[in-house]
Each structure stands twice: as structure tokens, then as C-alpha cells.
């Protein structure tokens, strides 16, 4: 089997919080669903619960507190040194809450993914569930995208839609979106690990075809 002859894709996962997406990726690696291996988990917050999840799984963890750095550039330089120590084939943002400099992003261009809780290009930025409900739309969702310097602007590689129900709250909606996140993020990482997913000329290419992008509503 070609797949099992390939060495596992080395991942470094960046988190800021609960790490439920991290857990889904840990589980997908452990079960053999994806041919990947998490080399390290890095958090900008010392109290991120995801650090416990990593420790439980025997994965090295690091905390890089952004408040200890003079500016974004200094933080990003320390972060990329930490990451590059592990020589990952893919950097995975999983609920990571710091905007990254253009210099940092370009260093990992084509080998860094993010999961963003909206149907991009709608609702870039923060508080997406509340904004989606207030928009009056009956559809919301989640997108995995290649990270580019434009915040939440890189090409989408995988997405799921989630219906907005009458009486929905941001918390209820977030829970249903998270269930989809835990399915589509390991799936996309698996594609990348198999060499099926690439960034080429600002397009996300899956099996040689551009992944369709949505219109803004």
C-alpha cells in the first residue's frame, strides 16, 4: 500500500483554548484515519485546556505568552523558531486566537491551515455565531482554509453547513458547528497528508481540481 509506505505527516498544532479540534486530530491520528503525527502543541495561553489534552496524549507542549513580547513581530519570530524546531510538514491553527504577521504567514504559505467558524467569505473575524444569527440568515457553517496574509481570506479547502434554527443562541449554534469542525478538519488534514491537497496560485487544489469558493452574501 502506497499510503502506509509514506512516513506520517509531521504536524504542529497551535491553540488558545479548549482544544476540542486538537482532540479530534489526536483521535484521527491515533485511529489511523489520517497518516499524521502531532509533534508539538503550542498555546499562547498558559490556561488553555487543550494543553491538558496534549499532555494526556504524550505530546510535547509549549506556552508562548504573547503578552511577554514587545510586538507581534517579536512574538511571531519566537513562535516560528519554536515551530521550526519540529520541522512540521503542516502547521494547524485550531482555535488559535492571535492574528499572524505577513512575514510569519509567508514562511508557512501552502503548509498552514486554519478552521474558521463561518461559511467564508462571510463573517471573517470574531463573534461569527452571533453575527450569523443577527444577519437573519438560516444558514451558517464552518470552513477550513489555507492561511494567507489576509485574515480569514485564504482559499477554502473544506466546509460544512449548519442550519440556524428559530430561537438559536450563539452557544447552541457553536455546539452544532463544533460537531462539524471535528469531522471536516481531520478530513482536510488527511487529504494534505496524502498529497491530494495543495495551494497553487492562490487556489486550493484537491485531486488536481480547484475547490469551489462561495460568494459573499
What residues are labeled active site? 116
Question: Which CB, 28 or 79, lies closer to ligand NHR?
Answer: 79
- Beta carbons of 15 and 48 less than 8 angstroms apart: yes
Question: Which CB, 109 or 151, lies closer to ligand GAR?
Answer: 151
Question: Which residues sit opposite 36 in a β-bridge?
Answer: 9
Count residues near ligand GAR (CB under 6 A): 15
Minimum CB separation of residue 204 from ligand NHR in Å reads 13
Count residues near ligand NHR (CB under 6 A): 16
- Residue 14 found at the interface with ligand GAR (CB under 6 A): no
User: What secondary structure letter does DSSP report for 15?
Assistant: E
Among 17, 88, 141, 155, binds ligand GAR (CB under 6 A): 17
CA distance 97 to 100: 9
Question: Which CB, 76 or 181, lies closer to ligand GAR?
Answer: 181
- Residue 63 found at the interface with ligand GAR (CB under 6 A): no
C-beta neighbour count of 64 within 10 angstroms: 20
Query: In whole angstroms, what separates CA 3 from the centre of its chain?
Result: 23
Query: Sheet of 209-210: strands edge to edge?
Result: 197-200, 203-206, 209-210
Helix axes 170-193, 20-31, angle to 10 degrees: 40
CA distance 187 to 3: 15
Largest CA distance in the chain: 51
- Residue 147 found at the interface with ligand NHR (CB under 6 A): yes
Among 11, 29, 79, 178, binds ligand GAR (CB under 6 A): 178
Looking only at residues 86 through 105 of this chain, which bind ligand NHR when binding is defined by CB under 6 A?
93, 96-100, 105
- Residues found near ligand GAR in the complex (CB under 6 A): 15, 17-21, 50, 94-95, 97, 115-117, 178, 181
Amino acid at each position: 500500500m502506497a499510503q502506509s509506505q509514506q512516513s506520517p505527516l509531521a504536524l504542529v498544532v497551535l491553540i488558545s483554548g479548549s482544544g476540542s479540534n486538537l482532540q479530534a486530530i489526536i483521535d484521527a491520528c491515533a485511529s489511523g484515519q489520517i497518516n499524521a503525527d502531532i509533534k508539538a502543541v503550542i498555546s499562547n495561553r498558559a490556561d488553555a485546556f487543550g494543553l491538558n489534552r496534549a499532555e494526556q496524549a504524550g505530546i510535547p507542549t509549549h506556552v508562548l505568552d504573547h503578552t511577554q513580547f514587545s510586538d507581534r513581530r517579536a512574538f511571531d519570530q519566537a513562535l516560528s523558531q519554536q515551530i521550526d524546531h519540529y520541522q512540521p510538514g503542516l502547521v494547524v491553527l485550531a482555535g488559535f486566537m492571535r492574528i499572524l504577521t505577513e512575514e510569519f504567514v509567508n514562511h508557512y504559505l501552502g503548509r498552514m491551515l486554519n478552521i474558521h467558524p463561518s461559511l467564508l467569505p462571510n463573517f471573517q473575524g470574531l463573534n461569527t455565531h452571533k453575527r450569523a444569527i443577527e444577519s437573519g440568515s438560516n444558514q451558517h457553517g464552518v470552513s477550513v482554509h489555507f492561511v494567507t496574509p489576509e485574515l480569514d481570506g485564504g482559499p477554502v479547502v473544506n466546509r460544512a453547513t449548519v442550519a440556524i434554527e428559530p430561537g438559536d443562541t450563539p452557544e447552541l449554534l457553536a455546539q452544532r458547528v463544533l460537531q462539524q469542525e471535528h469531522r471536516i478538519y481531520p478530513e482536510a488534514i488527511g487529504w494534505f497528508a496524502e498529497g491530494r491537497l495543495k495551494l497553487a496560485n492562490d487556489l486550493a487544489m484537491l485531486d488536481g481540481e480547484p475547490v469551489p469558493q462561495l460568494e459573499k452574501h
